[in-house]
Structure 1
Amino acid sequence: MEGIDHRMVSVNGITMHIAEKGPIDGPVVLLLHGFPDLWYTWRHQINGLSSLGYRAVAPDLRGYGDSDSPKSFSEYSCLNVVGDLVALLESVAGDQEKVFLVAHDWGAIIGWFLCLFRPEKIKGFVCLSVPYKPRNPNVKPIQGFKAVFGENYYICRFQEPGKTEEEIARADPRRFLRNIFTGRTPGPSILPKNDPFGENPKPNYENIELPNWFSKEDLDFYASKFDKTGFTGALNYYRAMDLNWELTAPWTGAKIQVPVKFMTGDVDMVYTTPGIKEYIHGGRFAADVPNLQEIVVIEDAGHFVNQEKPQEVTAHINDFFTKLQNSNNSF
């Protein structure tokens, strides 16, 4: 997109691609994408936030886009990915001791880890879609998902190396991406054993009308990047979930202390998963995140709320960060 700069940065033993825009001395906003996404998910926020004086920085996380893709899922642990981000901040933040954080989906999970491991780096966190869920010391994540949602829950199905990649290839990666970005099916996401992603596409499916917020050019961009990288790097984040559980044992019972604003769409697949609304609105989320300052549910928005409602989301981000800056300046 016009006006957005791109460069490669060496971080934590890998090469990472970042997109950035805004004044070099502006407050840094780190934007983290999720699955199956790229820096590109933040294209509207990069332009919007930079016009407000922020320096917006959006990486392709390891395994995605133009960043390096280590082969083993063990190289996608929370320690690896947070290590990438800490090194990235050393490169882009300059003299700024703290930065603002905005993250969505898997980026949100990594964002929670960053706030947990290095809270002194973060001024404030706007989290989209995935709330903080503390570590359960008694149950590994995949075991827990199987017990609650069954073996065909999408995260459980993603665990076997190579299998999901083959299923996506048979279904047509382009159609897989289109269906994920434009789908509005409430959670939890359960995949049928046979034909999980639709291996027999209907004739002329490419002619199906896309929503006004997601163009053919957007789909072309995503498809071109995943045609190059494949999906293994992206899926490895799910395959490292039990490993993350093992690595984070020292943080059992720890709470998130940074200021947080949580946002979601009202038909988001995560928000509509049984038990999530009760957790978010019933007090437990606030107990786990004591500095939770706002919860915003955006009407008529699905999982990719930052793309579906870009101006509204950007305004909410700016409002929260402006309040934090004004609060800090008042002392």
Structure 2
Amino acid sequence: MNEVTHQRIKTNGIWLHIAEQGTGPLVLLLHGFPELWYSWRHQITFLASHGYHVVAPDLRGCGDSDAPLSPSSYSVMHLVGDIIGLLDHFQQQQAFVVGHDWGALIGWHLCLFRPDRIKGLINLSVPHFDRNPKAKFVDSLNKIYGDGLYICQFQEPGRAERAFARYDYLTVMKKFLLITQTENLIAPPGMEIIDYLETPSRLPPWITEEELQVFADKFQESGFTGALNYYRAMDLNWELTAPWQGSKIMVPVKFLVGEKDIGFETNGVRDYVQGDVFRILVPNLEVVILDGHHFIQQEKPQQVSQEILSFLRKFPAE
């Protein structure tokens, strides 16, 4: 089998860096925050070895992809447009999409905006919620959690970047990628979230210092502004997605989440994922709860890879 190769592709007016391996049906792997294509290192080789053409981009603003300066260039319209451009580049009418964290949000919106281009979706960690017509997303969070919530702190351009700069890049990666506790996402009054997050004294067995350094080195090159701009476009997304209010996602979906994921443990998300409303919005849905935390594809690579493969194999070969 061929090795992982890298190239940059022009799509939707920007250049995206992609890692790819294998031949067969196209599978796109979309990462989250603060991550890169490298988050999928385990799944790329596994899926390629089972007969798939696997493509993992650095999403706009991250890694070796272009990073437009304006937060308004990070709306879900732009993000979905980038992925449609990748499909067009590979001359594929349809692809499978696997998304985690922000990549999951892109996956949900791909299915809302362009279901004709998606064969099936496997999303990790972030479920689909219907848009609240009465309040902007960040405003709602601010009223519930206050300024200590990381999403609220990320809104002001430059604020998080200045706070992150008090640490070396490897420490920032450790603070985010190794997060485990619910309260870690909300800093006490007057404290920045990066100061509140703990730096683990020992690494968990699923990631090495060298692997963390790969993330650190790339963010040292690019800075964090591109990745943070996703959060700064959240209320713009709320405005732009009004036409899809109440829309159902009819694409076949498998949703994977870690039992100890910080997002799964808070604000009724567990009940939502296991309840009826999620299934009304996503009728063709399978939910799998794994033993793990938020960055589940890195923490439990074999289980996640097998879950993805079992879903892909439900579709007839072309």
Bin of the TM-score, shorter chain as denominator length: over 0.9
Q: Is the 8 A contact 1:65 1:225 kept in 2?
A: yes
Cα deviation code 1:266-318 (max 9, x no counterpart): 111111112101111111110111111x111111x110000011011010001
Q: How many Å apart are 1:198 and its aligned residue?
A: 2.9
Indicate the residue corresponding to 1:298 in structure 2: 290
Match of 1:39 among 37, 43, 62: 37
Q: Is the 8 A contact 1:279 1:285 kept in 2?
A: yes
Q: How many Å apart are 1:146 and its aligned residue?
A: 1.2
Indicate the residue corresponding to 2:219 in structure 1: 226
Instruction: Give SS of 2:257's match.
Output: strand
Indicate the residue corresponding to 1:78 in structure 2: 76
Instruction: Give SS of 1:277's match.
Output: helix
Indicate the residue corresponding to 1:111 in structure 2: 107
Instruction: Give SS of 2:48's match.
Output: helix
Counterpart of 1:56, as a letter, is V
Match of 1:135 among 123, 131, 152: 131
Cα deviation code 1:242-266 (max 9, x no counterpart): 0011111111111111000000111
Instruction: Give SS of 1:271's match.
Output: helix
1:310 aligns with 2:298: no
Cα deviation code 1:60-103 (max 9, x no counterpart): 000000000000000001111111110111112x3x42111100
Cα deviation code 1:213-250 (max 9, x no counterpart): 11111111001000011100000000000001111111
Cα deviation code 1:153-195 (max 9, x no counterpart): 1111110000000000113332111121112112671023225
Count matched residues: 316
The unaligned stretches of length 5 or more in structure 1 are none
Indicate the residue corresponding to 1:180 in structure 2: 176
Q: How many Å apart are 1:143 and its aligned residue?
A: 0.9
Alignment of 1:153-302 (within 5 A): 153-186=149-182, 189-192=185-188, 193-198=190-195, 208-292=201-285, 294-299=286-291, 301-302=292-293
> For the residues of structure 1 that align with 2:187 and 2:95, how far apart are their CA atoms?
38
Cα deviation code 1:120-160 (max 9, x no counterpart): 11111000000001111111001111122222111111100
Match of 1:69 among 67, 86, 92: 67
> For the residues of structure 1 that align with 2:80 and 2:192, how far apart are their CA atoms?
35
Structure-2 change in CA distance of 1:251 and 1:169 (3 Å): same
Q: Taking structure 1 as the reference length, what is the TM-score of the superposition? A: 0.92
Q: Is the 8 A contact 1:140 1:245 kept in 2?
A: yes
Q: How many Å apart are 1:200 and its aligned residue?
A: 11
Q: Taking structure 2 as the reference length, what is the TM-score of the superposition? A: 0.95
Indicate the residue corresponding to 2:49 in structure 1: 51
Q: Which runs of 4+ in 1 moved over 4 A?
A: none
Q: Is the 8 A contact 2:58 2:65 kept in 1?
A: yes
Q: How many Å apart are 1:199 and its aligned residue?
A: 8.6
